[in-house]
Amino acid sequence: MTSSIDCLLFDLDGTLADTAPDLAHALNLTLAHFGRQPLPFEKIRPVVSHGGIALIRRGFDIQPEDEGFEERRLYLLDVYLQNICRHTRLFPGMEQVLDTLRKKDIPWGIVTNKPAWLTDPLMDALPMPYSTEVIISGDTCEHNKPHPQPLLCASERLKTPPPRCLYVGDAQRDIEAGKAAGMATACALFGYIQEQDHPEDWQADFTLEQPQDLLALL
C-alpha cells in the first residue's frame, strides 16, 4: 500500500497545525466575558478538533438547544478570528514532512471542517515553508466530513485517484471520511484525542505517534 501513495491530504486542526493554544485562548476570553472562570489548557485541548460547539459545551456545560448557547458560540468565533494565529504553528516535525513531499514532488492538500472564513485567514497567517495546492474547507462542498465528498473534491483537484491518496486526521470522522472516499487513512495520535476516544477501533490503515512517522510511508 505504501508504494502507491501519490498524494497526501491533511486535516487542519490537530493534524497539520497545533491550533489548540489560540482556540483555548478564545474560549477563556469568552468564559471571562460571560462571567465564568477560565479552564486549564489540558481540559480544552482534547475537544479542539470538534469546533466551536464542542468548545462551548466544554466551557459552559450547556447544549446547542440551551438558551445562550449560540450567543456564546458566535462570541467565541469572533474572538478566535481576531486572534487566529497568535501561537498556532505546524506540529513539530511537520515541516520536515512537507519538505520531503516537495523534494519527492508529491502533491498535498488540506481538507478541514473549519469554515473558509476561518480557514483562509489562518492559512494566510500561519508560518508555512511551502504552500499547499488545494484547501477544502467545511463549506467548500455541500457536505463535510465524515461525508467523503470533500476528500473526493480534493483528489479531483489534485488529479490523483482516491486509492492513491492518503488522508491523515486526528478524529474518527476523518478516518470514516477517508475510508468512504476509498483512500488510505492515517490516525494522528499526536493530535486532539479525547479520553473517551478509541483510535484503535477506527481501523485506520496507519497510526502516527509523530508527524515524522509519515516519512516511512513515502
Is residue 105 part of the annotated active site? The answer reads: no
CA distance 20 to 117: 18
For 125, the enclosing helix (H) or strand (E) is: helix 116-125
Q: Which among 6, 11, 170, 174 is annotated as catalytic?
A: 11
Place of cell 515541516: 95
C-alpha cell at 199: 483510535
Q: Which residues, 6 or more positions from 23, have their beta carbon under 8 angstroms from its beta carbon?
A: 13, 44, 48, 55, 80
Q: Which among 6, 13, 18, 174 is annotated as catalytic?
A: 13
DSSP per position, 161-190: -GGGEEEEESSHHHHHHHHHTT-EEEEETT
Residue 113: closest CA among 200, 54, 56: 54
Is residue 124 part of the annotated active site? The answer reads: no
Active-site annotation, residues: 11, 13
